[in-house]
Amino acid sequence: MNTAELIKSIRALEIKTKGLTKQAFSGQYKSAFKGRGMAFSEVREYQIGDEIRTIDWNVTARYNTPFIKVFEEERELTVMLILDISGSSAFGSETHSKKQRQIEIAATLAFSALSNNDKVGAILFSDQTELYISPKKGRDHVLLILRQMMEFEPKHSGTDLKAALKFLRNTHKRRAICFLLSDFEDDTSFIDDMKRTLKHHDLVAVKVKDKSEMKLPLRGFIQLFNSETNQTTWVNASSERTKRLFEKEFIFREQALLQKFKSSGIDYVLFNTEENIVPPLVQLFKSRK
């Protein structure tokens, strides 16, 4: 993709995801992701029904009439988009790869954050941290993040969720809203690291899958290639038994993962490469109110 094509793609992505942000998520993002607490805003005269404990006694004594302190939610947030760019993210059986869908979701979340004047940063990872973009405000910064997500070429093909989460914890001591976008095809035991991260940050698991990962789309003997290990396997796609086992194995692994998320208190949302991303995001936002 040359520079002109890249700019065109980024612009098209901006138009699409900003439209989704305005139409589908107006106000929902803000209510779903809270600020750090309450900050002092101003004082005003006491009115019947106000809490007595909010009276500012110094101002009250100065003007000889009761005044109260008014507090507002400290809204400014930092949103971190942690994007899996390992070999398996390039897989997609029809019009979208998992990586393309992940970037579209990331863009929608980034523009939601932008509309609320929040900072946005990103971590791109494989089996190591490939790229770190520190959080900042502004449209130009969001577009920079999306450009890097679209054009960055990873040096490695494996997946190490634990390493990505450790990097996040080491670089961000203040609480952030963290979206971990991945297919979670990682053989290591990363749940404990997710639970450890959850103690410091608001962590949401965003799982993207493709229908061909569950069902063999072809017939006859086909060669399956693992883009992370470079291993190949021949399977008989005409065998009903093979198809059932293939589907059963995928469902078992996915349900086991979701159960671990649930039992660990980790919010999660599921996406398919060929489905509309709006309903799952709306459901996520509503579930957090």
Q: Is the pLDDT of residue 221 over 70?
A: no
165 or 249, greater pLDDT? 165
Q: What is the pTM of this model?
A: 0.78
Specify whether the CB–CB gap between 108 and 279 falls below 8 A. Answer: no
Q: Do residues 70 and 50 lie in contact, with contact meaning Cβ atoms separated by under 8 Å?
A: no
Is 92 within 8 Å of 156 (Cβ atoms)? no
Q: What percent of the chain has pLDDT over 90?
A: 46
Q: What CATH superfamily is the domain 3-31+75-287? A: von Willebrand factor, type A domain (3.40.50.410)
Strand partners, 103: none
Look at residue 37 and tell me whether its pLDDT is greater than 60: no
User: What's the pLDDT score for residue 26?
Assistant: 58
Q: Is the pLDDT of residue 86 over 90?
A: yes
Q: What mean pLDDT is reported for the chain?
A: 85
Answer yes or no: is pLDDT of 136 > 80: yes
Contact (Cβ atoms closer than 8 angstroms) between residue 84 and residue 181: yes
Q: How far is CA 285 from CA 34, 104, 249, 259, 270, in A?
A: 11, 17, 30, 20, 13
Is the predicted pLDDT of residue 202 greater than 80, yes or no? yes
Q: Residue ranges of the domains in the chain?
A: 3-31+75-287, 36-74
Structure-token pair, residue 215: 């069902």
φ, ψ for residue 218 (rounded to 5)? -115, 180
Of the listed ranges 34-43, 152-161, 207-216, the one predicted with least confidence: 34-43
